[in-house]
Amino acid sequence: MKEEGFNTRAVGSGEIKDGKYGNVVTPIFQNATFLYPNYSEDKLEDPNTKDSYIYSRWGNPTITALEKKYASLEGARSSMAFSTGMAAITSLMMSLIGKKKRVLSIMDLYGQTLSFFKNKLPGYGLNVDIVSVDTMNALDFDAKKYDVIYSESITNPSIKVLDIEKLVKFSKEHKITTIVDATFCSPYNQNPLAMGVDYVVHSGTKYLNGHSDTMSGFVGTNMELSDVFEMRKNMGGTLDAFQAYLIARGMKTLGLRVKQHNSNAQIIAEFLKENSHVISVNYPGLSDDRYHSIAQRNMRGFGGMLSFRVKDGLDGARKFMKGLKLISAAPSLGGVESLATLPIDTSHHSLSEHDRKVVDVTEDQVRLSVGIEDAEDLKEELGNALRTLS
Ligand SMILES: Cc1ncc(COP(=O)(O)O)c(C=O)c1O
């Protein structure tokens, strides 16, 4: 049978509809606990325990419905939802302890992930080496040393693009497990599993939910997730049913939203490039961007994230931020509203000068999560804030 389209799956996949009630939307099973043993003839089975639902830290029908929706959009056979992106990442990595020894990753990782990799994982016998995205893309490392490669498909804040296609081919030849955090792409722009990646992770806090009002994380794979399930039970990073309902609600419009994010970001990137107060723009949709051809091979759309350098250094960047009215200065990304940050004053404040150079963060760099507002209004807003630099 022909696979349903992305938006059809986003709306309908995973939904629990019960003819007894005639509900058209999955109910919120606001239950910590369930009848157990459950003697009902037609009891529902939790796919993770293969038993009826018992206790919501283990599983809950509203969460299962969300996991099925995510799996359908990601093209994953198994998926698991978590309370945050970090709960997903830590649970997945902790599940590898004792089975894997050496991980290769990139310097441009999300800060909390990098800190967990550098400061915590080695204590559990999982040692992590760090290279630049370009080194990883060039496959310029000794494959024999690694059991796992972990990367992000688009990095923050310099918007570098991972060459998944190339990396997967190489990793398969060397029997290295691959994990990709595809938060910045969302499943609308990229499905790493279909490209041969072993595990995909997302901070659902961003595009998947899309409204900057809930937190969640996801792991998807075409393999088993029983060890990750054990970790979720142990560490307790389970979602709550009400959050799961809200996230499923947001996920239904993922395709519509990301289409608009992609289109707006392209318009804004081209607009910024022409502005005399802007030194340079990082956006893989620009035909002369360093990562354009890699993005063309690895993504269906170029995404809603971009960064740019303004004139007059740190003072100029701060002045620009102060000039914003419609766009809020706030961390995080992937929501319907545009958000801007100055990495030097926020996410990358504590990095050494050397490390900042490796990840290409400069004092005059602004990161923009382009929302779904009308592009004309965003252009007006950015133009006005840039004009304050003259
Ligand atoms: C790429 C990426 N991965 C993971 C995370 C962590 O997600 P959360 O904040 O939902 O724990 C973030 C958060 O910003 C992120 O940007």
Q: Which atom of ligand 1 has the smallest separation from the CA of 217?
A: 10
Neighbours of 364 (CB within 10 A): 21
Considering 251, 272, 303, which residue would you say is the last residue of a domain? 251
Q: What percent of the chain has pLDDT over 90?
A: 95
Q: Report whether residue 85 contacts ligand 1, using a CB cutoff of 6 Å.
A: yes
pLDDT at 390 exceeding the cut of 90: no
Instruction: Give the pLDDT mean for 357-363.
Output: 92
Distance in angstroms (rounded) separating the CA atoms of residues 200 and 182: 7
* Mean pLDDT value across the chain: 97
Q: CATH no. for residue 101?
A: 3.40.640.10
Q: Name the residues annotated as catalytic.
A: 57, 110, 181, 206
pLDDT at 2 exceeding the cut of 90: no
Q: Which residues pair with 149 in a beta bridge?
A: 104, 178
Please choose, from the candidates 74, 121, 78, 75, the residue with its C-alpha nearest in 3D space to the C-alpha of residue 101: 121
- The pLDDT score that the predictor gives to residue 285 is 98
pLDDT at 358 exceeding the cut of 90: no
- The pLDDT score that the predictor gives to residue 1 is 79
User: What pTM, to 2 d.p., does this model score?
Assistant: 0.98
For residue 1, tell me if it sits in a domain.
Answer: no
With 0-12 / 13-18 / 19 or more C-beta atoms within 10 angstroms meaning exposed / middle / buried, residue 374 is exposed
Residues 125 and 234 in one domain: yes
Per-residue confidence band for 230, with pLDDT thresholds at 50, 70 and 90? very high
Distance in angstroms (rounded) separating the CA atoms of residues 319 and 388: 7
Asked if residue 182 lies in contact with residue 219, where contact means CB atoms within 8 angstroms, the answer is: no
With 0-12 / 13-18 / 19 or more C-beta atoms within 10 angstroms meaning exposed / middle / buried, residue 276 is exposed
- The pLDDT score that the predictor gives to residue 313 is 97
Instruction: Give the pLDDT mean for 219-233.
Output: 97
Per-residue confidence band for 351, with pLDDT thresholds at 50, 70 and 90? confident
How far apart are the CA of 95 and the centre of ligand 1, in A? 19
Domain span at residue 165 reads 6-251
The DSSP secondary-structure symbol of 235 reads H
User: 75 — phi, psi (to 5°)?
Assistant: 75, 40
pLDDT digits (tens, 9 = 90+) for 364-383: 999 999 999 999 999 999 99
For residue 26, tell me if it sits in a domain.
Answer: yes
pLDDT digits (tens, 9 = 90+) for 261-309: 999 999 999 999 999 999 999 999 999 999 999 999 999 999 999 999 9
Considering 188, 220, 251, which residue would you say is the last residue of a domain? 251
Q: CATH no. for residue 262?
A: 3.90.1150.10
Residues 84 and 201 in one domain: yes
- The pLDDT score that the predictor gives to residue 248 is 98
- The pLDDT score that the predictor gives to residue 369 is 98
From 86, 155, 200, 209, mutation site for ligand 1 pocket: most ligand atoms within 8 A of C-beta: 86
Q: Rounded to a whole number, what is the largest CA-CA distance in the chain? A: 74
Nearest CA to ligand 1 atom 6: 85
| Cα 139-91-360 angle, rounded to 5 deg | 40
How far apart are the CA of 82 and the centre of ligand 1, in A? 12
- The pLDDT score that the predictor gives to residue 41 is 93
Q: Report whether residue 362 contacts ligand 1, using a CB cutoff of 6 Å.
A: no
The count of structural domains within the chain is 2
Residues 6+ apart with CB under 8 A from 203: 84, 85, 86, 88, 110, 181, 183, 216, 217
Nearest CA to ligand 1 atom 15: 110
Considering 235, 251, 267, which residue would you say is the last residue of a domain? 251
For residue 166, tell me if it sits in a domain.
Answer: yes
Instruction: Give the pLDDT mean for 341-353.
Output: 90
Instruction: Give the pLDDT mean for 141-164.
Output: 97
Strand, helix or coil for residue 366: strand
Instruction: Give the pLDDT mean for 170-175.
Output: 98
pLDDT at 60 exceeding the cut of 90: yes
| Cα 344-208-342 angle, rounded to 5 deg | 10
Q: Report whether residue 183 contacts ligand 1, using a CB cutoff of 6 Å.
A: yes
Instruction: Take residue 230 and report the two structure tokens written for it.
Output: 């054990």
Q: Is the dihedral of CA 164, 198, 2, 301 positive or negative?
A: negative
pLDDT at 82 exceeding the cut of 90: yes
Per-residue confidence band for 62, with pLDDT thresholds at 50, 70 and 90? very high
Instruction: Take residue 254 and report the two structure tokens written for it.
Output: 């993922």
Instruction: Take residue 282 and report the two structure tokens written for it.
Output: 């990082």
- The pLDDT score that the predictor gives to residue 286 is 98
